[in-house]
Amino acid sequence: MKKICLNKVLIVISCFSLSFLPGCEEGSSDDGYTTNVSVETQSKHIKALFFGVGPYAYKNSVSGGGVGPSSRWTSFRRDSLVEIILPAKTSDVDYEFVVEEIDRLNTAIAGYFTLTVILSGKDELTSANDNQITVNIVNSDVMKKNCGEAGGGCIQQKFYKPDDHFIKSGVSYYPTSEGIFDIHEIGHGIGLSDVNPGAFPEGTMASAGGRHIPKFSDSELAAINRVFTSGLKVGATEQDFWDAGLIP
Ligand SMILES: [Zn+2]
What pLDDT score was predicted for residue 131?
98
pLDDT per residue over 69-116, tens digit each? 788 999 999 999 999 999 999 999 999 999 999 999 999 999 999 999
For range 130-137, the mean pLDDT: 98
Q: What is the CA radius of gyration of the chain?
A: 16
CA distance 169 to 126: 11
Asked whether the beta carbons of 73 and 50 are under 8 A apart, the reply is yes
For range 124-146, the mean pLDDT: 95
Q: What is the mean pLDDT of the chain?
A: 85
Q: How close is the Cα of 28 to the center of ligand 1, in Å?
A: 24
Q: How close is the Cα of 93 to the center of ligand 1, in Å?
A: 22
Residue 87 burial (CB < 10 Å; 0-12/13-18/19+)?
buried
CA distance 49 to 150: 22
Strands (E), the chain: 2-5, 10-14, 81-86, 114-119, 132-138, 154-159, 167-175
CA distance 76 to 101: 18
Q: How close is the Cα of 192 to the center of ligand 1, in Å?
A: 9
Query: Which position has the higher pLDDT, 28 or 236?
Result: 236
Q: How close is the Cα of 239 to the center of ligand 1, in Å?
A: 25
For range 133-152, the mean pLDDT: 88
Q: How close is the Cα of 184 to the center of ligand 1, in Å?
A: 6
Q: How close is the Cα of 208 to the center of ligand 1, in Å?
A: 8
Using the predicted structure, report yes or no on whether residue 21 has a pLDDT greater than 80: no
Q: How close is the Cα of 32 to the center of ligand 1, in Å?
A: 20
Q: How close is the Cα of 222 to the center of ligand 1, in Å?
A: 19
Using the predicted structure, report yes or no on whether residue 242 has a pLDDT greater than 60: yes
Q: How close is the Cα of 175 to the center of ligand 1, in Å?
A: 15
CA distance 164 to 142: 28
Using the predicted structure, report yes or no on whether residue 51 has a pLDDT greater than 90: yes
For range 15-39, the mean pLDDT: 47
| Cα four-point dihedral sign 19, 11, 104, 183 | negative
Query: Which position has the higher pLDDT, 235 or 211?
Result: 235
Asked whether the beta carbons of 49 and 42 are under 8 A apart, the reply is no
Q: How close is the Cα of 15 to the center of ligand 1, in Å?
A: 4
Using the predicted structure, report yes or no on whether residue 133 has a pLDDT greater than 80: yes
What pLDDT score was predicted for residue 152?
79
The pTM score is 0.86
What pLDDT score was predicted for residue 7?
37
Least confident of 20-29, 40-49, 163-172: 20-29
**pLDDT confidence band for 5 (50 / 70 / 90):** very low
Q: How close is the Cα of 126 to the center of ligand 1, in Å?
A: 19
What pLDDT score was predicted for residue 2?
39
For range 142-162, the mean pLDDT: 87
Q: How close is the Cα of 62 to the center of ligand 1, in Å?
A: 12
**pLDDT confidence band for 68 (50 / 70 / 90):** confident
Using the predicted structure, report yes or no on whether residue 32 has a pLDDT greater than 60: no
Query: Which position has the higher pLDDT, 212 or 109?
Result: 109
Q: How close is the Cα of 191 to the center of ligand 1, in Å?
A: 11
CA distance 163 to 70: 8
Q: How close is the Cα of 200 to the center of ligand 1, in Å?
A: 15
Q: How close is the Cα of 66 to the center of ligand 1, in Å?
A: 7
CA distance 1 to 19: 12
**pLDDT confidence band for 67 (50 / 70 / 90):** confident
For range 213-233, the mean pLDDT: 96
CA distance 228 to 61: 26
